[in-house]
Amino acid sequence: MLLRQLFDHETWTYTYLLADEKTREAVLIDPVIDQVERDIKLLEELGLKLVYTLDTHAHADHITGSGLLRKRLGSKAVVGAKVGAEGVDLTVDEGDRLKFGSIELEVRATPGHTDGCVTFVTGDHKHAFTGDALFIRGTGRTDFQQGSAKNLYRSIHDKIFTLPDDTIIWPGHDYRGMTFTTVGEEKRHNPRVGDGKTEAEFVEIMNKLDLPAPKKIDVAVPANLHCGIVPAISMSGEPLPERGWAAIERTPEGVPEVTTSWVEEHMGAIRMVDVRELDEAEADGMIHGVEIIPMGTVDRASKVWDKEEPVITICRSGRRSGRVALDLEKLGFKRIASMRGGMVAWSNR
C-alpha cells in the first residue's frame, strides 16, 4: 500500500493519501480545500486515480476538499452516516467496509468529538486513521457539535485501544511537530485517556479545558455539511468566501498562476487586468474584455476593488503580472492569480 501524510500549515491538519500500487486506485482522507491543487498534482505525478474522498467528521477548523475534488476528478465523497451531510455519494457506519483496488478499510464509529466521527482502519489492522478522536498524546475536544467526553472515552477504549498495540495511529491534527504514534504508546503515555485514566478522570480533564472556539467554525461547519461546497450564507448570516476557486499552481517563488486555457474557459466571470502600458498592449495585442491598468498604478486602482472578486493579472510573459498578483495577495485579495506565460502563451495556445 502506498501511503503519504500531507500537512496543511494554516490549520495543522493532516491529509492522508492511500493507494493500491497495482491498480493505482487511491483515496484521500480528510482533504483540505486550500490544498486541492497540491493533492491533484501529487496524484498526477504518482499516476493515481482518486476514487474516494473520506472525511472522518464534519470539521470545524477547515473546509473539506471533497466536493471540489469530485468536480475535478470524479471521485466519490464519503462521510459518516451520523454527520447528516447533504450531497454525499456514500455514507458509512460501524462495520462497513470500503474497497479500492485490493485495499479494504474498515469503518469504526468513534463519536465523542462530534456525533458523526468515524475512524478508518486498514483490513490488516496495521493502520488507523482516527481523525479528531485520538491525537498523539491527546484527544479531540468535546465541547461542540454534539461532543461528549463520555462517548469519546468509550470510543477510544472500545474501538481504538482494542486494536493491536503495534497498530499505527495517524491523527487528524498535530500541534507539536509529531507525525504518528501507535496504539500501545497511547495506552501507556496519553495523558488524557492512557496510563489507566478512568472515564470520570477523562470527563474532568475535558471539562476544564476551556478552549476558544475554532476560528473557522462559522464557515467550515455549514460548508462541510455540503461536501465543502460553500452555501450562500454562514451560520451568522454573513456571506461566505469561496475557497479553492481556481486551478491554481504556485511557482517556486509563490506566485499563484492559472493557465491560458483556464482563463479562456472563465472569460466573462473574472476580472482580467493587463498590467502593461497602454501603448505596449495596443502594439502587441490584448485579450477582449481586459482592463489596462499599468503595473505602477494597480495599487491605487485596487483600493476600490472587491477583495472577494476573482482577478487575473496579465502581462507579456507573466513576470510583471506575477509580481502584481503577489502584491495584491498581500493586500488581502483572496482570489488572485497571474496568467502563466502571459500574452506570449495566449498567442501560442
pLDDT tens-digit series, residues 69-88: 998 899 999 999 999 999 99
Are both 66 and 193 inside the same structural domain? yes
SS3 category, 151: helix
Are both 62 and 174 inside the same structural domain? yes
- The answer as to whether 170 is a domain residue is yes
The domain in which residue 264 lies consists of 249-347
Are both 156 and 301 inside the same structural domain? no
Q: Considering the entire predicted model, what is its pTM?
A: 0.72
- The answer as to whether 207 is a domain residue is yes
CA atoms within 13 A on the CB side of 90: 18
Segment 116-126 mean pLDDT = 98
Question: Residue 275 maps to which CATH number?
Answer: 3.40.250.10
Cα 254 to Cα 165, 320, 325, 326, 347, distances in angstroms: 42, 14, 10, 8, 25
Are both 137 and 12 inside the same structural domain? yes
**Structure confidence at residue 244 (pLDDT):** 61
Are both 262 and 212 inside the same structural domain? no
Beta-carbon contacts of residue 305 (< 8 Å; ≥ 6 apart): 271, 311, 333
Number of domains in the chain: 2
Q: Is the pLDDT of residue 228 over 70?
A: yes
- The answer as to whether 296 is a domain residue is yes
Are both 186 and 303 inside the same structural domain? no
- The answer as to whether 234 is a domain residue is no
Segment 197-216 mean pLDDT = 94
Q: Other CB atoms closer than 10 Å to residue 281's CB: what's the count?
A: 20
Please say which residue of 168, 189, 224 terminates a domain. Answer: 224
Q: Is the pLDDT of residue 49 over 80?
A: yes
Are both 57 and 159 inside the same structural domain? yes
Are both 219 and 260 inside the same structural domain? no
Are both 93 and 141 inside the same structural domain? yes
- The answer as to whether 255 is a domain residue is yes
Residue-averaged pLDDT of the chain: 92
Are both 75 and 22 inside the same structural domain? yes
Please say which residue of 189, 224, 259 terminates a domain. Answer: 224
Are both 156 and 294 inside the same structural domain? no
Are both 60 and 202 inside the same structural domain? yes
| pLDDT-based confidence at residue 163 (cuts at 50, 70, 90) | very high
